[in-house]
């Protein structure tokens, strides 16, 4: 494993291009495009204001920069650096922006969720979609890019409307689980009279739907009957002797003085004399640090806040917000808890390698943690100063990933042979 130097960053805005050739990052109002292999700057674009969101087009030829405070989106071309596009929503304002799957249309959601404006880069035409619901993820596309689902709120009722992406016309709308011809397939409610669903994830094969709820459980539904096939509990104590619990523990750094020149470089000194950690296998039963949420506050920190399937459908990773220092890894083939990673700090983010069952985890310190069925490892990033990793994203090949902090980022390079 190897690491690049640190580069400046704003707003956690670092993204690999879909084709894996470029890495985009933002520093205030500047958009920087680097070559993935050399990290040399290929293009430097200057926007009209501080960038708050970036997104690559599906073909990696364009990248949009959203400036929500100004109600402006600027689009840049990698093939033609002199070409650019500015979309100004004016008094309508702007709260969200994204690409359509064809990479030639941009969908802007106006303030107060009054409408979604669809801008065409090719024909310069404009289409409007009314009544979008004010929610975290109100737009989704099918994998083939032909259809779009939009969460809507009209006449005091919630709907899911289907649009054809070729002309942005309404196809049908239905509520909850539906097929493309509008048939209501199923309605699922885990329980009543309490906070319900908090997170949701499809398996890559679309055979399973994982539903995380505020009651600290994950329910797995199958795609044939839409019935629950099992539920995964996240107790404060793990008692099953077949579950492996890896516990992160601090270790004293081993210093081989003859290897270093004196005085050592700042990066070397920071790496060597910082707190190292390793994983020990805990003896079951194991009790975790459990946080009881404050009942009278909105958005309580409880329940399943994060969940993600591995790319091969074999594993599901989850985080119970009541036990913020643990990552739970479930064996989907056996429908059993397989591994728990107990960290020293709260889990900030985790993401699966897109090519193999390998999970990367960060906890707000200068370490990155990797788990695979072969085992897990804690790696200290050798950087100068304080580098607190709060987010990460994999390169499409799985050979590297970007580690993001509030003010900096670096690239971590992995050899595929490291995990068999």
What pLDDT is recorded for position 168? 94
pLDDT in tens, 168-180: 998 856 445 566 6
At residue 151, the pLDDT reads: 93
Do the Cβ atoms of 163 and 150 come closer than 8 Å?
Answer: yes
What mean pLDDT comes out for the span 87-98? 96
pLDDT of residue 420: 40
Contact 29, 51 (CB under 8 A): yes
Summarize pLDDT for 262-302 with one digit per residue, the tens.
445 545 544 544 678 999 999 999 999 999 887 677 777 89
How far does CA 414 lie from the centroid of its chain? Answer: 20
CA 110, 115, 116, 122 torsion: positive or negative?
Answer: negative
Per 3-state DSSP, the chain is made up of helix, strand and coil in percentages (nearest 5) of 5, 45, 50
- Per-residue pLDDT tens digits for 207-219: 999 999 999 999 9
Mean pLDDT of the chain: 90
Q: How confident is the model at residue 419 (pLDDT cuts 50, 70, 90)?
A: very low
Q: Is the pLDDT of residue 257 over 70?
A: no
What is the rounded distance in angstroms from the CA atom of residue 63 to the CA atom of residue 314? 33
Average pLDDT in the 136-152 region? Answer: 93
Q: What pLDDT, on a 0 to 100 scale, did the predictor assign at position 179?
A: 67
Q: Which of 91, 89, 121, 122 is nearest to 108 (CA)?
A: 89
- Closest residue by Cα to residue 349 from 316, 315, 319, 322: 319
């Amino acid at each position: 494993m190897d690491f690049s130097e640190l580069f400046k960053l704003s707003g956690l805005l670092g993204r690999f291009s879909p084709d894996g050739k470029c890495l985009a990052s933002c520093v205030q109002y500047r958009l920087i495009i680097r070559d993935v292999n050399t990290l040399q700057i290929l293009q430097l674009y200057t926007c009209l204001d501080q960038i708050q969101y970036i997104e690559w087009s599906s073909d990696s030829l364009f990248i949009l920069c959203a400036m929500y405070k100004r109600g402006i989106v600027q689009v840049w071309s990698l093939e033609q650096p002199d070409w650019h596009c500015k979309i100004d929503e004016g008094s309508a304002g702007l709260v969200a922006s994204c690409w359509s799957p064809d990479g030639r249309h941009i969908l802007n959601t106006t303030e107060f969720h009054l409408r979604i404006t669809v801008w065409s880069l090719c024909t310069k035409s404009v289409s409007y979609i009314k009544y979008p619901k004010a929610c975290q993820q109100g737009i989704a596309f099918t994998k083939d890019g032909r259809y779009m689902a939009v969460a809507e709120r009209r006449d005091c009722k919630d709907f899911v409307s289907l649009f054809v992406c070729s002309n942005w016309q309404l196809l049908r709308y239905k509520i909850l689980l539906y097929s493309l011809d509008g048939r209501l397939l199923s309605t699922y409610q885990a329980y009543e009279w309490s906070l319900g669903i908090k997170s949701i994830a499809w398996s890559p094969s679309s055979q399973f739907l994982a539903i995380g709820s505020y009651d600290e459980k994950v329910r797995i539904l199958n795609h044939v009957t839409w019935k629950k096939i099992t539920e995964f509990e996240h107790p404060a104590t793990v008692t099953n002797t077949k579950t492996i619990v890896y516990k992160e523990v601090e270790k004293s750094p081993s210093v081989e003085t003859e290897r270093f020149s004196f005085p050592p470089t700042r990066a070397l000194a920071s790496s060597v004399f910082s707190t190292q950690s390793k994983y020990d296998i805990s003896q079951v039963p194991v009790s975790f640090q459990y946080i009881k949420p404050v009942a009278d506050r909105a958005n309580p920190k409880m329940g399943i806040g994060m969940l993600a399937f591995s790319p091969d459908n074999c594993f599901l990773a989850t985080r119970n917000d009541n036990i913020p220092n643990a990552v739970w890894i479930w064996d989907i083939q056996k429908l059993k808890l397989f591994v728990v990673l107990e960290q020293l700090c709260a889990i900030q983010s985790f993401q699966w390698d897109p090519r193999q069952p390998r999970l990367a985890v960060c906890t707000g310190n200068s370490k990155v943690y990797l788990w695979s069925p072969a085992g897990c490892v804690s790696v200290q990033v050798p950087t100068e100063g304080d580098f607190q990793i709060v987010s990460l994203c994999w390169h499409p090949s799985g050979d590297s990933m970007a580690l993001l902090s509030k003010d900096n980022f670096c690239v971590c390079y992995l050899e595929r042979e490291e995990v068999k």
